[in-house]
Amino acid sequence: MAVRDITEGVLSVGVIDWNREIFDELVPLPWGTSYNSYLVKGSEKTALIDTVDEAFDNEFVANLINAGAGMVDYIVVNHAEQDHSGALPLALELFPMATVVTTPRCRDLLISLLQIPEQRITVVEDGEELSLGNKTLRFIHAPWVHWPETMLTYLVEDRVLFSCDLFGSHLATSDLFAGEGICAPEKRYFAEIMMPFRKQISEHLARLEGMEIDFIAPSHGPAYDKPEIIMNAYREWASDDLKNLVLIPYVSMHGSTAEMVKVLSDALIRHGVGVLPIDLARQDTGRLAEALLDAATIVLATPTVLKGPHPLAANAAFLVNMLKPKARCAAIIGSYGWGGRTLKVLTEMMPDLEAEMLDPVYIKGMPNEEARAALECLADDIFKRHQDYNIV
């Protein structure tokens, strides 16, 4: 990624990963990603805000040379995860007089994850400031965005918020700044990474309300020269607002469960309720996560394999429990051949889902008239619950 100016004395020196397809062996990356790092040149001191993934060490060094880094006095580590800190050992070799600046919790993680010498680390408290001469860095502890040690860094004079993972996106792009609207990468990123921490994020957003912010420079994806766009989106996503939508993640081996999904979908549509069936055998987990952000009701549909749910449905239940969406209602439907414990297994896999569990519709074989009637009743129940919750 070419070295470019965010504003005077603030340079983007990170790298673009055009070809990465998956993150943490879990999160699909259909648009690639970037590892953003920023150089802040004050009149007396220079600070580097985060580094990059260690796989891009050479490109990172080239960017620092092209940026005229010269001597770096401070390396601010907002987050210890290796896509941000992987090149930190190299940076400390390049700048032997530099001091790592981070939170107490991050210090401990850097020592254990990267074996950074403790004597090279200075910890800062929430709200503490560091002078670079004509520029001042203010540190904002932001735990659980999305790790417990996360910190934001605010450049006071230039009103730049280095927001770490907050407000980021897994998007490889040559654009320095994001466009006028919110695109799929930003929403998917929030759903996959930030959704379990909605309450904490709302609190951090409230802390940022009184600050003058002209630029947001996150650790992934483009920066924002119109920060209100992404901040307003985060307020909406972190809120309790829901859409009149039923998400139906499903898998079907011989057509029985798929037919049940069709019957339920048709009944909900007749009630004016939005429906989004997601075939778990054909869609990636990112689409599921993004849909979980909006859905007022989740209906997990699966056949029984041997004695339990289909593994794809079990994986979906695990993700639902992990992401803790704000859905108000949930249900399980599906079909079995000769028996099993699918309902028990799936219910026990979602203890953290704070949604009212509706009566399941679990049948033997293909749906007969009785099963179809039960699915119609489930659709009626969901419709009434949405009305009761004023979700229209």
Three-state SS annotation for 207-234 = HHCCCCCCEEEECCCCEECCCHHHHHHH
Position 221 scores a pLDDT of 97
| pLDDT tens-digit series, residues 28-87 | 999 999 999 999 999 999 999 999 999 999 999 999 999 999 999 999 999 999 999 999
Tokens encoding 213 = 């912010």
pLDDT per position as a tens digit, 297-339? 999 999 999 999 999 999 999 999 999 999 999 999 999 998 8
Contact 60, 33 (CB under 8 A): no
Return the pLDDT at 1: 67
- How many Cα neighbours within 13 Å face the side chain of 160? 23
- Report residue 125 CA to chain centroid gap: 26
What confidence score (pLDDT) does residue 339 get? 85
- State how far the alpha carbon of 270 is from the alpha carbons of 93, 246, 266, 330, 380, in Å: 65, 13, 6, 20, 10
Going from the C-alpha of 206 to that of each of 166, 177, 201, 202, 270, the distances in angstroms are 14, 24, 9, 6, 40
* DSSP helix, strand, coil percent of the chain (3-state; round to 5): 35, 25, 40
Structural domains in the chain plus CATH codes: 4-238 (3.60.15.10), 246-382 (3.40.50.360)
Provide the 3-class DSSP secondary structure of residue 293: coil
Structure tokens that stand for 346 in this block: 């799936």
| 199: helix, strand or coil | helix
Q: Radius of gyration over alpha carbons of the chain, in Å?
A: 24
Stretches where the chain sits below pLDDT 70 are 1
Return d(Cα 84, Cα 147) in angstroms, integer.
Answer: 12
